[in-house]
């Protein structure tokens, strides 16, 4: 499924084999391949590898608490009528379109509060995703969204409010995310797009890490399509993971991976998954590492418009992540050097671990989250006052004045 609140897609860019969508600018088209078929034993059979409506979570008794999140024993989603959503979106009018992806278009809507509507009362802004009749994987992905988001609740997962199933119409109703996607903020251009300051970037990375860590530790859910366009931001830039159309239950305790047809997005998909169809929990960690590199550089994971040898971001910049001095040369110029270089280098080192070629070499998302939180805490500590002689202070000020980097160190 494509980005829910991102920019409108343009013409497709050629891709290699596999059921992966491209991560190139403005592209969300998938290429279908029968190279892999699902052989997992963790869900009911489905050629696409997505969960079916009959798939079960292993937790079946009571609400299971997790830090800031929970697994609901049953889905509490509201069933909407097509007429309700048609009215909420003004008949799916073109000027209410928020974005479009492989599943279909997403519309901004207004849901009247029935209890107060007669007296001119309040309502709720919603986002309505409507299945495109030409969507190849639409039904399976719609089912997967309902299965997972219907029961998983966490501050860093986008909230699914309900759905509509009136043949042939399939729709999903979400909370509205005011700030759109991380993709738009990192790569969007124009006066309407303001570059994200360093502290907001770190906040977003931590929020997304919390959401992914919750999925991995609560039910061993493999998200499978972690990318900047699937990280949505509310009015306070709190990150929430969206679009669970490709999510899968992970391997059982006796297994290291599940095997499924390759699906996801080029540039973010882990190399072992693309090569073999073997999907590990830590395949998600690779995608998270790619997003960390995007946050540092402000560059897309895959961009054929870059010079030869630079199309794949991680392959190109990996040598620059090992050394702080080299890292500065690829940092997002829109930060204008207003970032702590020590913290940036620590995140670069963390990204390197995440994009390791072998899954077992990557940290868990719990470890990634803890590392990011330590970096944030260290960054927030006030600097210790330093007392120097008058001559030393003057010499330092003179050197600092000549430096082209401002506020570039911790």
**Whether residue 399 has pLDDT greater than 80:** no
Task: State whether the Cα torsion 298-301-303-306 is positive or negative.
Answer: positive
User: Is 300 among the domain residues?
Assistant: yes
Query: What integer pLDDT is reported at residue 19 of this predicted model?
Result: 55
CB within 8 Å of 203: residues ≥ 6 apart: 237, 238, 239, 376
User: Is 404 among the domain residues?
Assistant: no
Q: Binding site: residue ranges?
A: 130
User: Is 147 among the domain residues?
Assistant: yes
State the average pLDDT for the chain. 79
What CATH number is given to the structural domain containing 354? Answer: 1.10.510.10
Greatest mean pLDDT range, 31-35, 38-42, 60-64, 66-70: 66-70
Cα 306 from Cα 302, distance rounded (Å): 9
Residue at token pair 């009571």: 62
Average of per-residue pLDDT across 355-378: 96
- Say if residue 168 is preceded by a cis peptide, omega within 30 of 0: yes
User: Is 304 among the domain residues?
Assistant: yes
User: Is 73 among the domain residues?
Assistant: yes
pLDDT class of 382 with cuts at 50, 70, 90:
low
- What total of structural domains would you count in the chain? 1
**Which residue(s) pair with 69 in the sheet?**
66
User: Is 39 among the domain residues?
Assistant: yes
**Whether residue 11 has pLDDT greater than 70:** no
Q: Binding site for ATP: residue ranges?
A: 130
User: Is 1 among the domain residues?
Assistant: no
pLDDT class of 99 with cuts at 50, 70, 90:
confident
For residue 163, give the H/E element and its range: strand 160-166
Catalytic residues: 225
**pTM of the predicted model as reported, rounded to 2 decimal places:** 0.78
296 neighbors 306 (Cβ within 8 angstroms) = no
User: Is 390 among the domain residues?
Assistant: no
Q: Is 302 exposed, middle or buried (0-12, 13-18, 19+ CB in 10 A)?
A: buried
Q: The domain containing residue 57 runs over which residues?
A: 19-377
């Amino acid at each position: 499924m494509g980005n829910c609140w991102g920019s409108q897609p343009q013409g497709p860019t050629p891709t290699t084999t596999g059921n992966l969508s491209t991560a190139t600018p403005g592209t969300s088209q998938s290429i279908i391949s029968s190279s892999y078929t699902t052989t997992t034993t963790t869900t009911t059979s489905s050629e696409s590898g997505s969960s079916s409506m009959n798939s079960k979570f292993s937790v079946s008794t009571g609400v299971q608490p997790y830090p800031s999140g929970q697994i609901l024993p049953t889905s509490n989603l509201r069933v909407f009528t097509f007429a309700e959503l048609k009215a909420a979106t003004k008949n799916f009018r073109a000027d209410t379109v928020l974005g479009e992806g492989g599943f279909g278009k997403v519309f901004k809507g207004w849901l009247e509060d029935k209890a107060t509507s007669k007296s001119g009362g309040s309502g709720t802004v919603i986002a309505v995703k409507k299945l495109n009749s030409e969507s190849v994987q639409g039904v399976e992905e719609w089912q997967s969204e309902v299965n997972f988001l219907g029961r998983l609740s966490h501050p860093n997962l986008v909230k699914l409010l309900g759905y509509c199933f009136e043949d042939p119409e399939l729709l999903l109703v979400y909370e509205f995310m005011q700030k759109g996607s991380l993709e738009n903020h990192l790569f969007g251009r124009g006066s309407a797009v303001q570059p994200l300051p360093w502290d907001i970037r770190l906040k977003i990375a931590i929020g997304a890490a919390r959401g992914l860590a919750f999925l991995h530790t609560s039910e061993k859910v493999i998200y499978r399509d972690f990318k900047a366009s699937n990280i949505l931001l509310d009015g306070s830039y709190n990150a929430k993971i969206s679009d669970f159309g490709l999510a899968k239950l992970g391997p059982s305790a006796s297994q290291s991976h599940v095997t499924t047809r390759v699906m996801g997005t080029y540039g973010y998909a882990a190399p072992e998954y693309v090569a073999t169809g073997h999907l590990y929990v830590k395949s998600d960690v690779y995608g998270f590492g790619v997003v960390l590199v995007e946050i540092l550089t402000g560059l897309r994971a895959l961009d054929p418009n870059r010079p030869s040898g630079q199309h794949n971001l991680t392959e190109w910049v990996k040598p620059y992540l090992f050394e702080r001095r080299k890292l500065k040369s690829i940092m997002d110029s829109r930060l204008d050097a207003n970032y702590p270089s020590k913290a940036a280098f620590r995140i670069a080192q963390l990204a390197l671990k995440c994009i390791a070629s072998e899954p077992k070499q990557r940290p868990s998302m719990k470890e990634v989250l803890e590392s990011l939180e330590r970096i944030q805490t260290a960054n927030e500590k006030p600097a210790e006052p330093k007392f120097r002689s008058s001559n030393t202070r003057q010499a330092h000020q003179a050197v600092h004045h000549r430096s082209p980097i401002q506020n570039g160190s911790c």
